[in-house]
Amino acid sequence: MNASAPLDYYRTHACSRQWRGFLLALCEEFDSALPDAELARLMARIGERFGRAHALPAAATLEELQDAANAVWSSAEWGQVAFEELPEQVHIHHAASPLSAVLGGRVGWDTGFLEGVYRQWFRAAGMVSVLDVRHLQSDNPDVATYTLSRVF
């Protein structure tokens, strides 16, 4: 067995077969109808709606917020998140998203959705208006990274 075999297995089984064909068809239709930037904005709005529907309880620390987010992701089988506090920003590392697994590196889908969810959750937690959540480019198809930082 090669080193990537376990991850390849995960990617093919992370999204149930009943949804795989539907999601791929939906993705192809949206890809043909919307430019990448517009698709990313649409998916971010959908993510914000998801974030409101799955509101996190009040948290006093970043670790408590991370634990609350992971409780939502665990119950939905949507992977897990780690928040990394840096001097002037917080990095958000989301691993094992089923959208990422089924759709691969298609721009805007997974990253836009998760960006919207985290934006909504941090706003609800009291994020000030000069901060925002943005996706960062990554070479790792299994981990999407975002930054919560000052908007310029």
The number of angstroms, rounded, from the C-alpha of 3 to the middle of its chain's C-alpha atoms is 25
What is the pLDDT averaged over residues 28-45? Answer: 90
Question: How high is the pLDDT of residue 98?
Answer: 82
What range defines the domain where residue 109 resides? 5-150
Residues 57-116: pLDDT tens digits? 999 999 999 999 999 999 998 889 999 999 999 999 998 888 876 776 655 677 899 999
pLDDT(1) > 50: no
Furthest-apart CA pair in the chain: how many Å?
49
Helix, coil or strand: residue 77: coil
Residue located via tokens 């698709």:
39
- Chain mean pLDDT for the chain: 86
Terminal-to-terminal C-alpha distance of the chain? 47
| Calpha distance 152→149 (Å, rounded) | 9
CATH number at residue 143: 3.30.1380.20
Q: How far is CA 36 from CA 4, 26, 99, 147, 148, in A?
A: 29, 15, 16, 20, 22
Q: Please list, in sequence order, all residues whose beta carbon lies within 8 angstroms of the beta carbon of residue 30, skipping any fewer than 6 positions away.
A: 39, 42
Split into its structural domains, the chain has a count of 1
Q: Locate 50 and state its tokens.
A: 């998801």
Mean pLDDT, range 32-36, rounded to an integer: 89
Nearest Cα to Cα of residue 125 among 53, 37, 64 = 64
Average pLDDT over residues 127-143: 88
As a whole number of angstroms, the distance between CA 133 and CA 85 comes to: 14
Q: Round the CA-based radius of gyration of the chain to a whole number and report it.
A: 16
- Of 103 and 121, the structure prediction assigns the larger pLDDT to 121
